[in-house]
Structure 1
Amino acid sequence: MNQPTPGAESHKRHSLGDPIVLTLSIGFIVAFLGLSFYDINLVAGAISTSFSWTALVFGSYFQLLLLLTFFIAMGIAVTPAAKAKIGNLDAPEMSTFKWLSIILCTLLAGGGVFFAAGEPISHFLVTPPAFDTEPGTPDAVAGALAQAFTHWGFIGWAVLGSLSAIVLAHAHYVKGQPLQPRTLLYPLLGERLLRGPLGGIIDACCVIAVVAGTVGPIGFLATQVSFGLHEVFDIPNNYTSKLIILAVLGTMYVLSAVSGVHKGMQILSRFNVFLALAVGAVIFIFGPTLFLFNSYFAGMGTYISDFFPMATMTAETAPAWWMQWWTIFFFAWFIGFGPLVAIFVARISRGRSIREMIIAVAILAPIATTVWFTLLGGSGIYYQMTGVFDLTEPLSNFQFDVATLAVAQSLPGGSIMTMAILLLTTIFVATTGDSMSYAIAVVGAGHDDPSAVMRAFWGIAMAIMAGVLLHMGSGQIAALQQFIVVTAIPVSFILLPSLWDGPKAAYAMAREQGIIDR
């Protein structure tokens, strides 16, 4: 049973959670929108400058943090301590398929929606710095896929739910400490952190990072679906259409978040996995099957053989602009989501062993991601090579929504596949919206059963923010998405102690459960 949590009474007095977290988080949303209305160029320029500075100064540190997290997690996974169960349960709360479905759909959304088609084609058209192949040729295919695998593979996923999830699970389910990011720093800063305002500031930093990272996909999805409906059904691609799409999406994920982990979230995730399997099967069977099969193995082989050169490139060995807009952007994005996704992973993994959790998040999910990137991105490369379309200009302007629609319309089934992929991406974003609404509510409450009001509040707030930013133009959504790179600075220091506290927590759980003696 959980022990009373320091500050638990104060949480009960506020229906929307910790007042410091609420004030700072809502204050950020209001300030960002207000300043954008006042001078949109000022805000975009300030974020762009901060974004470039962060990538230059902290880029190598972010890379090292991800690498160390992955390898330390793998080290824990092969020890006897990894047999310890999460959350003081002998059996899992949900089936393996449901559990993996929620993990995949929650965490793959950003990549699956926006980058799976466009990023591999981009690297095919402009050779990444780690390779010297001629762009746009068959020799460039393996390197293009491998570079995308690096950004969305093992080390990015590991920071989302391995070491930090172990620390949080032990602290909350065994010690009764709050299920909040501040708990990751408890071994370092002690009891005053749980009770004082500093804990609220730490939690707010993580909430702001997730809001910045979640509102972006929500807004971009409305743009992408509106564009797709215009292309297929000639429905006007205007602000009204985008608002209607936002309203449908927001209603979907708010209802899912309110219904909880065992209802709406499971239903959406399972449906999307079945739909993804169906879409993937059609692409593989009726698309360029042999090309996709060969490209995946070539890309995975290059990813493994050139893992360290790609993962450790710096602005000294690669163009600064390339590192800023590719590797550092994605790695910082994973870091920004890290604490809140770890909270969510710890919650849904009760009854699972530490080994199961690490393998699911840091091995199985990345492999599924690389397959998805190959199906969409590999098909795109094939159609680019064979002259079905030319995405050189849109991708040079980072128009990934154009790439996704171009690939979808070129696939067998044309309009049907386009609609299937649009539905798939909508539910991917919905599963991120519901899980992050839930996770933010958990942070405010400090436990794993926040009120339905809290869950709905945060879901609605992010949808409204996306709607307002869309009215200003997609540039402000892009600026907000860049802001997560800046927020990754404080969040990375919150995650840092997990490098040594993760193994300690794993061994403590194993000793408490009688798995090891010391």
Structure 2
Amino acid sequence: MPNPAASTADSTSAHTSRPTKPAKGVRSLGDPVVLTLSIGFIVAFVLLSFYDLDMVANGVSAGFAWTAITLGSYFQFLLLATFFIAIGLAVTPAAKAKIGNLDTPQMSTFKWLSIILCTLLAGGGVFFAAGEPAFHFLTTPPVLDSEPGTPNAVAGALAQSFTHWGFLAWAVLGTLASIVLAHSHYVKGQPLQPRTLLYPVLGKRLLSGPLGGVIDALCVISMVAGTVGPIGFLSTQVSFGLHELFGAPDGYATQVAVLVALGLIYVISAMTGIHRGIQFLSRFNVFLALAIGAVILLFGPTLYFFNSYLSGVGSYITNFFSMATVTAETASPAWMQGWTVFFFAWFIGYAPLMAIFVARISRGRSIREMIIAVAVIAPIATTVWFTLLGGSGVFYQLTGVIDMTEALSNYQFDVATLTVAQALPGGTWMALAILVLTTIFVATTGDSMSYSIAVVGAGHDEPSPKVRAFWGIAMALMAGILLEMGAGQINALQQFIVLTAVPVSFILLPTLWNGPKSAYAMAREQGIID
């Protein structure tokens, strides 16, 4: 997917060499180790699930529980360290260095921010935005002492949601690791793969040896586990929504129809590339989210939103460290597994491939711009969205318009989302708009992750469209097969990302010191600092 502007900028750039690309025949195949292990995992998970559903679900659950209790604090440290080091780096002169050997950005700021927001916030921000604040409103989080279900619980409920989806979560997805990958690939010519993050530690043999393929495969498997979950759950949510709104049958046939439609959208988007399909879907979704947000703000309890947001941000800042560092000793292990550790591990599992994607779309941007966009602007936009959608749920629950107690006690966030949507201004039409928004959010994750997995196999930022399509179709097929077994297997696969987050976290750990080191190297090479 060549870009004329990129070619011109590359030809005029004075910043060292451009990355080499393999021949077309090799490029279309990808790394055989990555392909074998990744496809092998998908096949093994499905076959084992066919053989013994309970064995797979119980095994994943046991590993999930052990990881949450044993390594939860380590995950929290990694996110905290990444955020503060990235912000510290952003205020240094080295942060003026440009990403990717380009002097000007490849796309406008609005398009760039749209892709970042839609890809990284994805369906999770819609799945959980309506229900999570209400859950914490009805069940007081561990570090707070407000009476559940009362006006005093609103600020803390929003603050806990901000903790899970705020600065820490976003920073690990596209700051330090993106800097390391951008410098290694666009300056040194090393492959645009997760293994490159460990090159300073393990050396040159890692780039072409089988160990590098194993590292890349672990990151791909983690991404597949984390992406198939939202794809599968979206089909159940849309099927349920169509049944409630229009009386359509809520069953496997409808779920498969949703999967097929979703797959077509994001596969075509992934094949057309960043500057066409991926960008178009992201822009469309941002405009739709802005329209929905404006309707909620203007025709809903406007003053309540402003007051709740200010008090929620205040509680978030006041309790920032206590919420981010809560442990199984101060909170119940079950709560940690269901919330903080689960989300933090989920973001860690996504991080290497997200970092690749952020580095790719940020070419021509400064390091400072990239860090501020990912670790500051995007989290603030997320907190606003959670306040509008989740705050509406809390308001309607508090005033008795709706009752989500039973749905949330059973973790039925699809029911909670639709319940809140129907209570919003516009009723059925608003609920339909939110279903469309959710679908496109998941599609923007599907297309960008299909692209990123193809990049990992190819080792450069122009992977074959056929390989992008292959991974998109593979994830949709896996979701369809697991849904036929029951939503529990989708949940088991989504929990599996917590297990894969363990090795992935050690791949990310060196970025805590190599991120700043790469930034300063880029700044010296570009003549910004001595």
TM-score by length of 1: 0.98
Aligned partner of 1:460: which letter? I
Equivalent residue, structure 1, for 2:316: 303
Extract unaligned runs of 5+ from structure 2.
1-9, 11-16
Supply the distance in 1 between the matched residues of 2:22 and 2:437 (Cα, whole angstroms).
Answer: 42
Equivalent residue, structure 1, for 2:87: 74
Q: Does 1:369 align with 2:415?
A: no
Q: Does 1:111 align with 2:124?
A: yes
Supply the distance in 2 between the matched residues of 1:98 and 1:76 (Cα, whole angstroms).
Answer: 25
Supply the distance in 2 between the matched residues of 1:471 and 1:111 (Cα, whole angstroms).
Answer: 22
For the residue of structure 2 that corresponds to 1:262, the secondary structure is helix
Equivalent residue, structure 2, for 1:37: 50
Instruction: Give 1:14 deviation, angstroms.
Output: 5.9
Instruction: Give 1:455 deviation, angstroms.
Output: 0.3
Pick one of 191, 203, 217 that aligns with 1:190: 203
Aligned partner of 1:105: which letter? C
Aligned partner of 2:372: which letter? I
Q: For the Cα contact (< 8 Å) 1:16–1:453, is it kept in 2? A: no
Pick one of 249, 262, 265 that aligns with 1:236: 249
Supply the distance in 2 between the matched residues of 1:365 and 1:265 (Cα, whole angstroms).
Answer: 18
Q: Does 1:392 align with 2:405?
A: yes
Deviates more, 1:319-328 or 1:69-78: 319-328
Q: For the Cα contact (< 8 Å) 1:11–1:444, is it kept in 2? A: no
Pick one of 513, 518, 522 that aligns with 1:500: 513
Q: For the Cα contact (< 8 Å) 2:130–2:420, is it kept in 1? A: yes
Residue deviations 1:135-179 (CA, integer Å, cap 9, x gap): 000000000000000000001100000000000000000000000
Equivalent residue, structure 1, for 2:461: 448
Equivalent residue, structure 2, for 1:248: 261
Supply the distance in 1 between the matched residues of 2:273 and 2:194 (Cα, whole angstroms).
Answer: 21
Supply the distance in 2 between the matched residues of 1:85 and 1:12 (Cα, whole angstroms).
Answer: 32
Pick one of 225, 234, 238 that aligns with 1:225: 238
Q: Does 1:26 align with 2:39?
A: yes
Equivalent residue, structure 2, for 1:140: 153
Supply the distance in 1 between the matched residues of 2:498 and 2:277 (Cα, whole angstroms).
Answer: 31
Aligned partner of 1:13: which letter? V
Q: Does 1:353 align with 2:399?
A: no
Q: Among the aligned pairs, what percent are the same residue?
A: 75
Equivalent residue, structure 2, for 1:168: 181
Aligned partner of 1:96: which letter? T
Equivalent residue, structure 1, for 2:223: 210
For the residue of structure 2 that corresponds to 1:117, the secondary structure is coil
Equivalent residue, structure 2, for 1:124: 137
Instruction: Give 1:12 deviation, angstroms.
Output: 4.3
Aligned partner of 2:110: which letter? F
Q: For the Cα contact (< 8 Å) 2:206–2:212, is it kept in 1? A: yes
For the residue of structure 2 that corresponds to 1:263, the secondary structure is helix
Supply the distance in 2 between the matched residues of 1:492 and 1:60 (Cα, whole angstroms).
Answer: 12
Supply the distance in 1 between the matched residues of 2:436 and 2:238 (Cα, whole angstroms).
Answer: 9
Instruction: Give 1:16 deviation, angstroms.
Output: 3.2
Q: Does 1:180 align with 2:193?
A: yes
Pick one of 422, 426, 429 that aligns with 1:409: 422
Aligned partner of 1:356: which letter? E
Supply the distance in 2 between the matched residues of 1:228 and 1:391 (Cα, whole angstroms).
Answer: 16
Q: For the Cα contact (< 8 Å) 2:240–2:250, is it kept in 1? A: yes
Equivalent residue, structure 2, for 1:486: 499
TM-score by length of 2: 0.96
Pick one of 281, 287, 296 that aligns with 1:268: 281
Residue deviations 1:422-456 (CA, integer Å, cap 9, x gap): 00010000000000000000000000000001100
Extract unaligned runs of 5+ from structure 1.
none
Q: For the Cα contact (< 8 Å) 1:3–1:177, is it kept in 2? A: no
Q: For the Cα contact (< 8 Å) 1:182–1:202, is it kept in 2? A: yes
Q: Does 1:427 align with 2:440?
A: yes
Residue deviations 1:169-207 (CA, integer Å, cap 9, x gap): 000000000000000000001110001000000000000
For the residue of structure 1 that corresponds to 2:140, the secondary structure is coil
Supply the distance in 2 between the matched residues of 1:12 and 1:56 (Cα, whole angstroms).
Answer: 46
Change over 3 Å in CA distance of 1:21–1:131 after alignment to 2? same
For the residue of structure 2 that corresponds to 1:15, the secondary structure is helix
Supply the distance in 1 between the matched residues of 2:414 and 2:143 (Cα, whole angstroms).
Answer: 26
Q: What is the aligned length?
A: 515
Equivalent residue, structure 2, for 1:292: 305
Instruction: Give 1:468 deviation, angstroms.
Output: 0.5
Supply the distance in 2 between the matched residues of 1:315 and 1:229 (Cα, whole angstroms).
Answer: 39
Q: For the Cα contact (< 8 Å) 2:231–2:442, is it kept in 1? A: yes
Supply the distance in 2 between the matched residues of 1:4 and 1:288 (Cα, whole angstroms).
Answer: 53
Instruction: Give 1:318 deviation, angstroms.
Output: 1.2
Q: For the Cα contact (< 8 Å) 2:177–2:197, is it kept in 1? A: yes
Pick one of 416, 436, 449 that aligns with 1:436: 449
Pick one of 310, 315, 336 that aligns with 2:349: 336
Equivalent residue, structure 2, for 1:514: 527
Instruction: Give 1:10 deviation, angstroms.
Output: 8.4
Instruction: Give 1:305 deviation, angstroms.
Output: 1.1
